[in-house]
Structure 1
Amino acid sequence: MNCTQNKKLMQITSETMVIGVDIGSEIHYARAFDFRGFEFSNKAFRFENNREGFNAFDNWATELMKKNNKTKAFVGMEPTGHYWYGFGCHLQNMRVEFGMVNPYHVKRSKELDDNTPSKHDRKDPKTIAMLVKDGRYLIPYMPEGVYREIRNLMELRRQNVVQLISIQNRVKRWLAIYFPEFNTVFKKWNGKAALLTLKYFPTPQAVIEMGEEKIVAIWKQTIKRAIGNKHARKLIKAAEESIGLKHGLESAVLEISTLLDEYEIYARKLQVIMQKVEEQVNKVPNANKLLGIKGIGIVAIAGFLGAVGDIGRFDAPEQIVKLMGLNLRENSSGKHKGKTTITRRGRSDGRYAIFQAVLPLVARNAEFRQLHLYYINRENRPLKKMQSIVALCGKLIRVFYAILKTGSNYNGEKMMKDIKRVA
């Protein structure tokens, strides 16, 4: 995982043919160069994003390598959404080394040749190849097996949660318009009694028409715990005093019925997804030991594993910190001393998972809370609360790394030894 600029340059030798590929949704373009930038092909090679196109690319690259006495090829490409996945998987299967160049670097570098910001299929592959030749690329990680399953499942979970949040917001909006007093009767709109109410008598007029006895009877058909006439009378009183809209109720009932159906569908999907997530996480060596950290749940573990993949590819936890974009950068120039902030360059999903995991740790885990209090109250350069949270994110990554790497159990006392106490 630790691939410095020098190591990247060492991969491009006099025996290497550097190929720059401009990725498109259906058509890709490639150009080939040596390690000095001398071009082997007279024009850009055009190939389609399918098996036939990939085979044509292989034949083209092989012929050029033979013609120019090159023993290996290194492919560079600019990540264009998800369109590069198929070609990247093909290169991986063919054991061809490849790297990804930053689209921002391509945009800034393309003017070096002709001093114009123009963009076209012949120009971009050369710009990409020149960046690769100079070692300005990243080695992509394409997870396999259980790690790919976890990453896909966590992305599916994220999409599902987004839909659930959208539905919840729309239900709250509906209640604010047609039955604002509903929240004074029920603590949560998605509780059992509240859902039954919204399903069978959602509007104030429907509540009044239903009456106390029928309301209680419908509740008791599904809810085992005691919920009776007192609660029903409170609901009826709220309905009688409601300031909600009295017009357009037929369409309003259809709207809330549709929202509830969607909510049930996505709630069931989320439950199935989380069952699959737990099954896959249990297949990762030592992952179950992370649950020994008080305040850590399966979502945090799966979010970390989905972003990081196989922990064995890292030599040190600092590499994961950098992968997450949690490493610090300084903003200074001359006499100006700017703020030090995190880079935010890396996997945003992993950074979000770690951040969301640390927040409950500060509240529930004694060791992490003590560390947080130490960071914000120490005499020498105390941290602000958010700075402390970022520091604890790095600490949690190091704890995860140690447990997954060594198989040891969580030891809070050992972790607390890192505190540098002021004498």
Structure 2
Amino acid sequence: MKEINQITSSTLIIGVDIAKFKHVARAQDNRGVELGKSISFENNRQGFELFVSWFQKISIEQGFQDVIVGMEPTGHYWLNLAHFLKEKQVKYGVVNPLHVKKSKELDDNSPTKYDIKDAKVIAQLVNDGRYAVPNLPQGVYAELREAIKIRDHLTTDLCVVQGRVHNWLGRYFPEFLTVFKDWECKSAVQMLSLYYCSMSLLMYPMKPCCST
């Protein structure tokens, strides 16, 4: 309800289709009438300045009092634009990619994806209040969020590797875990580095230590 109340007849609505190198934007009013031509701009500060100049010109010409920019959070490519808009104190929000996929069929009964079409769909979702305002932390809070994200990725990768090792041991060296309770201990890892399966242990047995 809060989101849709921000959209009035004096609000210029911008939909941006996010990509890796170039974004595409379209503008409309709250009735869905497109205003001006679509614009393609690069994912850098120069491109963002061009984008802001474009919608400010439309806003002045059409007499809008405020602007809201909607975008699809594609990967991390949307973050630069979001930070730039926040710096310029421009309202912005993100729409659910699943909503974009389902809504694009309403205009022409086709799920085909292309940048200009998606930008229009995103703008309409914002007009309907189907968007969220993301929290973009700054300073140490941004660093903490990134550190937590990296830790989660590393934890997931570690679980995948551990699962693969258990799979390999079960397939090729089932006797291993009857000798070592934990394959991650130093002696077990050293044994695996020398003998990766039971057959290699039979072919190249460990030599006994020389007694003094």
Shift of 1:173: 4.1
Q: Distance in 1 between matches of 2:90 and 2:65?
A: 12
Partner in structure 2 of residue 112 of structure 1 = 106
1:261-340 alignment runs, 5 A limit: none
TM-score after normalising by structure 2 = 0.84
Q: Aligned to 1:37, which of 6, 24, 32?
A: 32
Q: Per chain length, whose mean CA-contact separation is higher, i.e. which structure has more relative contact order (CA < 8 Å, sep 6+)?
A: 2
**1:20–1:31 Cα contact (<8 Å) kept:** yes
How has the CA–CA distance of structure 1 residues 149 and 33 changed in structure 2, closer, same or farther, with 3 Å as cutoff? same
Shift of 1:57: 0.3
Q: Aligned to 1:146, which of 103, 126, 140?
A: 140
Q: Distance in 1 between matches of 2:120 and 2:186?
A: 62
Query: Larger strand proportion, structure 1 or 2?
Result: 2
Partner in structure 2 of residue 22 of structure 1 = 17
Considering only aligned residues, what root-mean-square deviation do their CA atoms show, in Å? 2.5
Q: Is 2:61 the partner of 1:67?
A: yes
How has the CA–CA distance of structure 1 residues 177 and 12 changed in structure 2, closer, same or farther, with 3 Å as cutoff? closer
Shift of 1:188: 0.5
Q: Distance in 2 between matches of 1:164 and 1:119?
A: 36
Partner in structure 2 of residue 83 of structure 1 = 77
**Could you say what secondary structure the match of 1:30 adopts?**
strand
The letter of the residue matching 2:151 is R
Partner in structure 2 of residue 210 of structure 1 = 207
**1:179–1:204 Cα contact (<8 Å) kept:** no
How has the CA–CA distance of structure 1 residues 173 and 98 changed in structure 2, closer, same or farther, with 3 Å as cutoff? same
**1:201–1:210 Cα contact (<8 Å) kept:** no
| Identical columns (%) | 46
TM-score after normalising by structure 1 = 0.45
Query: Larger helix proportion, structure 1 or 2?
Result: 1
The letter of the residue matching 1:109 is S
How has the CA–CA distance of structure 1 residues 165 and 47 changed in structure 2, closer, same or farther, with 3 Å as cutoff? same
Shift of 1:204: 2.6
Q: Distance in 1 between matches of 2:91 and 2:85?
A: 7
1:401-416 alignment runs, 5 A limit: none
Q: Aligned to 1:121, which of 115, 120, 126?
A: 115
Q: Distance in 1 between matches of 2:179 and 2:104?
A: 63
Q: What is the count of residue pairs matched by the alignment?
A: 208
Q: Distance in 1 between matches of 2:172 and 2:32?
A: 69
> Which consecutive residues of structure 2, in runs of 5 or more, have no partner in the other structure?
none
Q: Is 2:46 the partner of 1:49?
A: no
